[in-house]
Structure 1
C-alpha cells in the first residue's frame, strides 16, 4: 500500500482536467478494445512485428517505415559497426575480466552482468562515429512545440552504462516487464505528467510520445534512487557483440508505445469489479472509475522511493503480457537495438542457445541543459575511474589493469559527447 498522500495526488489530477471522470472512462473502454485487437496482431506476427532497418539506409526510409518505428517504439538497426570490431570488443571485455578478478558482477559465482563502465572497449564503442550518428538519427525522431533553448537533437551525448555477456542456460528472473526512467514521477512530477496530457484529457489517440515538451525538465528521480537514469534518453539501446536471437536471452518489448502509455497512465484511476483471474476481467464493464485509494498498480515502495512501473498480468491484465511481450529479431555482431524510454521491456528468462549473448548498453542522448550538466559530472567520474553519477559508488575501476582513458575516445564527436568540448 502506498502512502495516503497518493490518493490526494489522484484527486489533484482529476480536478486538473475538465470532465475528467467521463472523458477517461470513455477512453479506458476504447483503449481496452484496441489492446485486444493489437494483441492478436502481435501474437500472430511475433518478432517480425518489430522493424528492422540498415544503418546505411537510415536517411532514406519510407514514411511508412518511419511511422511503424514510431508506433512500435523499438527498432533493430543492422550493421552499425563492422562485425570484426564488435567481436574484438567482446574479446577485449573477456580479457579485461580475466585480468581483473576483482571486477564486480552478477551472479557472484558466475559473473555475466558487469558493474563496469570505463573499459577501453566501452569507451571506444560509445565514441564510434556510426554509433553516435545512429543516436543522432533517433534523437531527431523527437520534436517540440515549446522552448528549444539549449537543446540540439543533432549533438549526441554519451551516457556510460554497463554490459552483459550472458552464458547459455541459467534463469534470469530479475528483469521482468518494466519501464525505466521514472516511476511514480510520471504522475507526481508536473513536468513529467505534461508528457501525458492528451491521455489524461481522454484524447489518448492524440498522445505523441515524441513531443519533447515536458520531458526536458521532467524529474525522473525525485527520491534519489540509484541505478535510475536522471538524464533524458530518447531511446535506450544496446550494441550486440554476438549473434543472438529469440529464446537466446535477448530483449523483449511490448510493441505499441502509444497504446501502452495510454493504458498504464490511466490504470491507477480504475479498479476491477471481478476476480482478476476471471475471464470477465477483460470486459470494460467490469471496471469502475475510482480515485479513493492511493494505489498506483505496478508502482512499489522501495528502500529509495518507488520502483516501477512493473506491469504484470495481475496489475495490467489487458496488456496480455504473456502473449504480447515480443522478442527482438535475430541480431549479429555490430547490430544495435533501441527502444523508446517509455517502452515496456524485459529480458528473456532462459538462454537456450549455444553461445554467449553479449551486448553493451548504449542509449541515444541529445544535448539538453539537463543532460549536459549530467555529462559534466560523468566526465569527472571517468577521469577518476569511478562509477558514473547514476550508479552505486561501489569500488571503482581506476586500479584495474587495462582500464580505458581519454586516449581511447575514437572521434572528435565522441570527445564532445563525453564533455571534452
Structure 2
C-alpha cells in the first residue's frame, strides 16, 4: 500500500545516510534470502518444537547454548511461574467479575472474549507476583549495552528493576473463530524507519553489515519513539518482551499464540524489504533467487504498513508482502501450556493468535510483558498509576468507560509484593 510522497522521501533519506547504500544492501539482500531459504525450511520441519521451553526454577542455571537459543528465536515458554491452582482461580474470579459487571466492553462487541479491563484484582495480583516479576527481570537481562561507555550515557536505566504495563486479558471459548490478531509486530509501525533513534536499532542492517545486527542492544531502544502518531493500542513504552500468563490449559490448535521463531532473521528481512521489488510472482519458486529482485526507491510502500486511526498499523507481514518468510509454514504454535505457565516473545517478534480453537475449554490468558526501569518507561508508569487510582483506562489504550464504578475493582491493597508496589510506581525504587 502506498503511504504518500513523504515516505518515498523517507526511503531516499535513509539511503543517503549510509555510504554505498544500494551496493551494500543489495549484497546483504542476496545473503538474507539465502539465510531465509535455509532457516524457514528448518522451522517448518521442527514446528512447535522449535520454540524453547524452560522451567522457572531453572532460569538461573541455563547453559549458554540454551540462552542463545532463546535469544535467537525470541520466544520462550517458562513453565510453572505461578502455582497452577492460583492461576486457574484467577480465571474463575475474572469470569465472576464479568458476570457481576455485565456492561464490561470487549471484542467481539456482541460476545466479548477479549476484555477492555485493566484493574481487576486478579490482574493486579498477577502483575505483582514475585515470580512473574523475576521472570521478566531475567528476560530483560538478555539485553545489554554495546559497551560500558554507552551505559554511562544513560541514567535511570536498570534492567533489574521491573515495571508494570497494564494490559487486558482474554477468555476465549472453544469453537469460536478468531480473526483479530493476524501475524504482526507490535511496539512501533512506520516508526521503525521514520524515527531516527528507533532506526538506529537497525543501523547494521542499513549499512549492509546485517550479520552484526543485535536485537538485544539497548542503546537505541531506550529513547526510540514507537508511537509518533498517538494511535490507540500503540504502545508508547519499551517492552523488552511481550508476554502472557496462562490461566487454563492451552495446546496448539486451541487458540494459542503463533510466532515466527527467529527474531534476528525477521528483523533483517523486514527492515530491508521496502527497498526491493520482486521481478517474479511472489508465489514463484524463484522468489528466493536474488536475481529476481531489484533495488527500488521509487515507491512510498513500506510492506505490511497501512494507515489507521490517524497513524499506522503494522508491520503485518503476509505471504504476498513478505514471501521469503514462508509464513504459511513458519508461523508455529507455541507448545502446550498449563495454568501458571508464561509465554514471552521479543518486542520485534512476528506473532499471531490462532484463528481456530478446536478445544472444548477456555483459552484464557492475562497479557503481562517485561518492562525494565528506564526514564521513558517510568514516566508512563507514573501516568498509569494515576489511571489505576482513578479506575481509568491507561493512556495507551482506547478510551472508554471507567472501571471505578465496577464491583470488585482492585486497589493498592491488592498489590501483593513490595516489588509490585515499585513496579506500579506506588513506591520509589531505592538503590540502597
TM-score, with length taken from structure 1: 0.99
> Match for residue 111 of structure 1?
112
Matches within 5 A, 1:279-358: 279-358=285-364
CA distance in 1, matches of 2:143, 2:383: 25
Q: Secondary structure at the match of 1:196?
A: helix
Query: For residues 283 and 53 of structure 2, what CA distance do their matches in structure 1 show?
Result: 36
Give the paired residue count. Answer: 421
Residue 227 in structure 1 maps to residue 208 in structure 2: no
Query: Partner residue of 2:423?
Result: 417
**1:16-415 aligned within 5 A:** 16-145=17-146, 146=150, 147-415=153-421
1:40 deviates by 1.2
Moved over 4 A (4+): none
Superposed CA deviations along residues 266-308 of structure 1, whole A, max 9, x for unmatched, are 0000001122333322321110001111111111011221111
Q: Deviations over 1:235-267 (max 9, x none)?
A: 000000000010000000001111100000000
Shift of 1:173: 1.1
In structure 1, list runs of 5 or more residues that go unmatched: none
Higher mean alpha-carbon deviation, 105-114 vs 49-58, is at: 105-114
Give the superposition deviation at 1:88: 0.7
Tell me the distance in 2 between the aligned counterparts of 1:123 and 1:273: 52
1:354 Cα deviation (Å)?
1.3
Whole-angstrom CA distance in 2 between matches of 1:312 and 1:108: 27
The alignment yields a C-alpha RMSD, in angstroms, of 0.8
2:232·2:309 contact (CA, 8 Å) conserved in 1? no
What are the superposed Cα offsets for residues 331-378 of structure 1, whole Å, 9 maximum, x if unpaired?
A: 000000000000000000000011101000000000000000000000
Paired with 1:276 and 1:207, the residues of 2 have a C-alpha distance of: 26
**Cα-to-partner distance string for 1:307-349 (whole Å, 9 max, x where unaligned):** 1101100000000000000100000000000000000000000
Could you tell me how far apart the structure 2 residues matched to 1:12 and 1:109 are?
46
SS in 2 for 1:238: strand
SS of 1:404's equivalent in the other structure is coil
In 2, the alpha carbon distance for the partners of 1:386 and 1:203 equals 46
Per-residue Cα deviation, 1:105-124 (whole angstroms, up to 9, x for no partner): 11123211000000000000
Looking at structure 1, the residues matched to 15 and 108 of structure 2 have their Cα atoms a distance apart, in angstroms, of 44
Q: Deviations over 1:102-148 (max 9, x none)?
A: 00011123211000000000000000000101111111110113233
Kept after mapping to 1: 8 A contact 2:141/2:160: yes
Tell me how far apart the structure 2 counterparts of residues 9 and 155 of structure 1 sit (CA, whole Å): 37
TM-score for both structures, normalised by structure 2: 0.96
Question: Within 1, Cα distance between the matches of 2:88 and 2:187?
Answer: 30
> Residues of 2 paired with 1:279 and 1:71: CA distance?
27
